[in-house]
């Protein structure tokens, strides 16, 4: 067997782990990895900023359930990737970032772009380390991926110096670990009995599901659970789409009132973080059952009556069976129907502006036009502030993984990188990015990447020429005369995309929106509609929550 260099070992290890694509921005420190990927048939997608590479790897993981991989060069390549890593960390997304480093033989002497990457990455990853022997590269990649996938998933970082990558070794002396699924436990019999008793005793139970549902692939189990018992279900994050928007158990707008009156909250793969007001949104006397992959999140910010740790899908299936055996026929239809009346009343708020003729365009008119345009094969990615918060309450999500946003880190700039990964992972689907005009500026140059790789990504920019989510409270607190650093120009972002070789169009009147959407869809190449909008009215924003 011939000698192979370290870059080939990286690619072989990634291939063995099921990696199909890497996202990267070139650098001399990492060139051998590209050479190895060519030999192993791993696709190389090169972007315009390392942050975008990690965002794309994050989206790939969310959409496929398998680790996403970003490869970045040393020094500024690693530091440029930090925001993407931090976003994946808060979103529990299994991403492997491989970073270059100066020669190991010169470590500490000040080689080009040398720095302590591992120390930078350690606080925002599940594991961060370095490999200094070429023969051990596959071993370290396996270790990193086990950390990425165990418990609640998350990003990991592996540094590989340039001389370790370029060095040739006898492949017969290299051990290639076997990759196996990470085992996850099911519920204990005692926990199931307690869960069944708590639920059976409740009169107004509510189910709230979060992103860990995705990492257990528990969508079907969750849907079967709430349908069998006729329980109201609220979702956020990657749990969105568990039920279709017309399902009788699906709720979106009545959450505050439901949580304020519930006597049992079942939190499935979510957290009592800012999105649930750290548990304070729940009635103080309500009992709580919390299901998750990770034991350390159980009871964080809000005490629970029962925590069940393990595979969420397995827990829900066995819990449903326990209810059928111990409490046959127990359903909560009357409570669910009472909550439906509240839901319909709350939904009326978001119908404001649906048919508004106003110019500049009412942002809710834009959202409702988009709701009529998207279908069951459209992946929608929200990258912005006010406009995305509004769209998340209006746009239907027909199935899991058809809505994507940054997650609890809330960073801007994920739009194009997420879209690139989505279109690569699902070439048969339509991919649409809804931008705020501020968000476009972060990674808008990734339209160049989309054009180079022939990815027909659609986008809509809600352009109100401001960082409105910040400018509005700034004016309220300080007055318009002191509103600084929050105004933008009414830039023609459609022309930016045209300059890259895509399709662009300006939209200024509400009746122009739908025809422009249809032309964009028919263009067959990366496209952008620049829609001149007004800011969201305060009456809408006062009712917004995540």
Domains in the chain: boundaries: 3-173, 189-347, 352-541
197 and 330 in contact (C-beta within 8 Å)? no
pLDDT tens-digit readout, 280-331:
999 999 999 999 999 999 999 999 999 999 999 999 999 999 999 999 999 9
Is 410 catalytic? The answer is yes
544 pLDDT tier (thresholds 50, 70, 90): very low
Q: Active-site residue among 50, 159, 281, 346?
A: 50
> Among this protein's residues, is 147 annotated catalytic?
no
To the query of whether residue 49 is one of the catalytic residues in this protein, the response is no
Residues sharing a CB contact under 8 Å with residue 47, sequence separation 6 or more, in sequence order:
23, 24, 25, 53, 56, 417, 420, 446, 449
Domains 3-173 and 352-541 share a fold: yes
Enumerate residues 6+ apart whose C-beta is below 8 A from 329: none
Sort 533 into a burial class: Cβ within 10 Å, 0-12 / 13-18 / 19+.
buried
Question: What's the mean pLDDT in 134-149?
Answer: 97
CATH architecture of 3-173: 3-Layer(aba) Sandwich (3.40)
* DSSP 8-state class, residue 350: G
pLDDT one-digit tens code per residue, 471-484: 999 999 999 999 99
Say what the pLDDT of residue 546 is: 41
Predicted confidence (pLDDT) at residue 78 exceeds the cutoff of 90: yes
Q: Give the pLDDT band (50/70/90) at residue 1.
A: low
* pLDDT tens, residue by residue, 233-258: 999 999 999 999 999 999 999 999 99
Query: Residue 113: pLDDT band by 50, 70, 90 thresholds?
Result: confident
Average pLDDT value over all residues in the chain:
95
Least confident of 28-32, 227-231, 350-354, 379-383: 350-354
What is the homologous superfamily of the domain 352-541 according to CATH? Thiamin diphosphate (ThDP)-binding fold, Pyr/PP domains (3.40.50.970)
Question: What CATH number belongs to 189-347?
Answer: 3.40.50.1220
Q: What angle do CA 519, 425, 497 make, to 5 degrees?
A: 40
Question: Any bridge partners for residue 160, and if so which?
Answer: 100
Supply the pLDDT for residue 297: 94
pLDDT score of 545: 42
Is 29 part of the annotated catalytic residue set? yes
pLDDT greater than 90 at residue 542: no
Q: Of the listed 410, 454, 501, 524, which one is catalytic?
A: 410
Average pLDDT for 382-407: 96
Catalytic residue among 113, 252, 423, 506: 113
Statement: residue 543 has pLDDT above 70: no
Q: What are phi and psi of 425, to 5 degrees?
A: -70, -30
Q: Write down the number of H helices and E strands in the chain.
A: 23, 19
pTM score: 0.96
């Amino acid at each position: 067997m011939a000698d192979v260099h370290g870059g080939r070992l990286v690619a072989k290890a990634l291939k063995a782990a099921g990696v199909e694509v890497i996202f990267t921005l070139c650098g001399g420190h990492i060139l051998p990895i590209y050479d190895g990927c060519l030999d192993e048939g791993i696709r190389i997608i090169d972007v315009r900023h390392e942050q975008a590479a990690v965002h794309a790897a994050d989206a790939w993981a969310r959409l496929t359930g398998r680790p996403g991989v970003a490869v970045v060069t040393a020094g500024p390549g690693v530091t440029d990737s930090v925001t993407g890593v931090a976003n994946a960390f808060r979103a529990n997304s299994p991403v492997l970032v491989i970073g270059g480093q100066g020669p190991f033989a010169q470590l500490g002497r000040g080689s080009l772009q040398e720095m302590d990457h591992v120390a930078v990455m350690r606080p925002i990853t599940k594991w961060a380390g370095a490999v200094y022997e070429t023969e051990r590269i596959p071993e370290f990649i396996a270790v990193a991926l086990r950390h990425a996938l165990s418990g609640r998933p998350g990003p990991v970082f592996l540094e590989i110096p340039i001389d370790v990558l370029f060095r040739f070794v006898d492949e017969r002396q290299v051990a290639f670990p076997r990759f196996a699924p990470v085992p996850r436990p099911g519920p204990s019999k005692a926990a199931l009995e307690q869960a069944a008793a708590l639920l059976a005793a409740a009169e107004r139970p509510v189910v709230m599901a979060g992103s860990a549902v995705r990492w257990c692939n528990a969508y079907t189990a969750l849907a079967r659970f709430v349908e069998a018992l006729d329980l109201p279900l609220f979702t956020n994050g990657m749990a969105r789409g568990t039920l279709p928007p017309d399902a009788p158990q699906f709720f979106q707008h009545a959450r505050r009132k439901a949580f304020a009156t519930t006597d049992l909250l079942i939190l499935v793969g979510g957290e009592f973080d800012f999105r649930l007001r750290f548990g304070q949104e729940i009635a103080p006397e309500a009992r709580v059952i919390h299901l998750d992959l990770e034991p350390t999140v159980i009871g964080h910010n809000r005490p629970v009556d029962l925590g069940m740790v393990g595979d969420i899908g397995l827990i829900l299936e066995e819990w449903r069976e326990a209810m059928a055996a111990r409490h046959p026929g127990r359903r909560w239809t009357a409570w669910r129907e009472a909550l439906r009346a509240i839901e319909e009343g709350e939904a009326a708020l978001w119908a404001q502006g649906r048919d508004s003729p106003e110019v500049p365009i009412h942002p809710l008119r834009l959202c409702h036009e988009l709701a009529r345009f998207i279908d069951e094969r459209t992946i929608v990615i929200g990258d912005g502030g006010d406009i995305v918060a509004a769209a998340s309450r209006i746009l239907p999500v027909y199935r899991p993984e058809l809505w994507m946003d940054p997650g609890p880190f809330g960073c801007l700039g994920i739009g194009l990188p997420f879209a690139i990964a989505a279109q690569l992972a699902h070439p048969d689907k339509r991919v649409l990015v809804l931008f705020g005009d501020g968000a476009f500026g972060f990674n808008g140059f990734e339209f160049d990447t989309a054009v180079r790789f022939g990815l027909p990504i659609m986008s809509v920019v809600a352009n109100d020429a401001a960082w409105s989510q910040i400018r509005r409270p700034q004016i309220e607190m300080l007055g318009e005369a002191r509103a600084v650093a929050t105004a933008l120009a009414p830039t023609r972002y459609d022309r930016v995309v045209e300059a890259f070789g895509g399709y662009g169009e300006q939209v200024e009147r509400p009746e122009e929106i739908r025809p422009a959407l249809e032309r964009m869809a028919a263009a067959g190449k990366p496209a952008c509609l620049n829609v001149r909008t007004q800011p969201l009215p305060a009456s809408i924003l006062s009712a917004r929550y995540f």
